[in-house]
Amino acid sequence: MLIKSLKQRIYEKKLRSAHVPMELKTAYDQVKKLDTNRSIQDAGFVVIDTETTGFHPEQGDSLLSLAAIRMVRGRVDLSESFYELIKPDREIPRESVKIHHLTPGILSSHPVGVLPDVLIRFFEFCGGNVLVGHHVALDLRFLNHALKQHFGAGMANPTVDTALLASAIKEMEDPVKASMQGADHVGLDDLAKEFKISMPHRHDAYGDAFATAMIFQRQIGILRKNHVKTLKELLRLAGVD
């Protein structure tokens, strides 16, 4: 508890800096008021995904696109979505282009945002909602690296990983089988296939965010059947620091 309190004070000190945008401060104020005892069904979620030039933001890789889709009362709301392309800070490697197909030509022919401005609009959209992503730790690394680089403070939103949640559900439904298989890698394609969700736009930030949102919607239903009802329980099963 003491460590958490110290971290909170340090974070709040960073937020008092003049160059931290109001959108990030507002998101933190909303996170502080978050009631983790409320039902999962009533909690606010924003499902996110990113595409990047590589895997190492600390070594110069950067964000290329950022997508977010809101979920209201456990349902995907496509009328509440966010998607922006981002001007890269470095040349896009060929290996990266083969995955997400975001070539310099595509980026030059579409509206492209400057990273700090995109981040501000992203947090204006997300607010203090719980974020959701698949193998979301990499997305968080890029987002936090960019936020600290440009504004001096990372994000405070609690975050759920649908891959961790898939493993937790497997453990709840068939603990013997789960213990025999171990903590294997849970792929987005595998989960989409399991839930019969089509993925026509794979490795597109918006397409992957939509698939993840659909998967999470199904997972919420499974949790309800297994008597996992509160946001606190969900974060304990699949929360990411």
Q: What is the pLDDT of residue 59?
A: 94
Q: How far apart are CA 175 and CA 183, in angstroms?
A: 12
| pLDDT single digits (tens) 40-58 | 999 999 999 999 999 999 9
CATH placement of domain 2-240: 3.30.420.10
Q: How far apart are CA 211 and CA 3, in angstroms?
A: 36
Mean pLDDT, the chain, integer: 91
Each domain of the chain, given as residue ranges in start order, spans: 2-240
Rounded to 10°, the helix 205-225/162-173 angle is: 30
In this prediction, the residues of the chain whose per-residue pLDDT falls under 70 are 1-3, 98, 108-110, 176-184
Burial of 127 per CB tally in 10 Å (0-12, 13-18, 19+): middle
Instruction: Give the model's pLDDT for residue 71.
Output: 97
The pLDDT value given to residue 18: 78
Does this model's pTM top 0.85? Answer: yes
User: What is the pLDDT at residue 99?
Assistant: 81
- The CA distance from 130 to 45, in Å, is 5
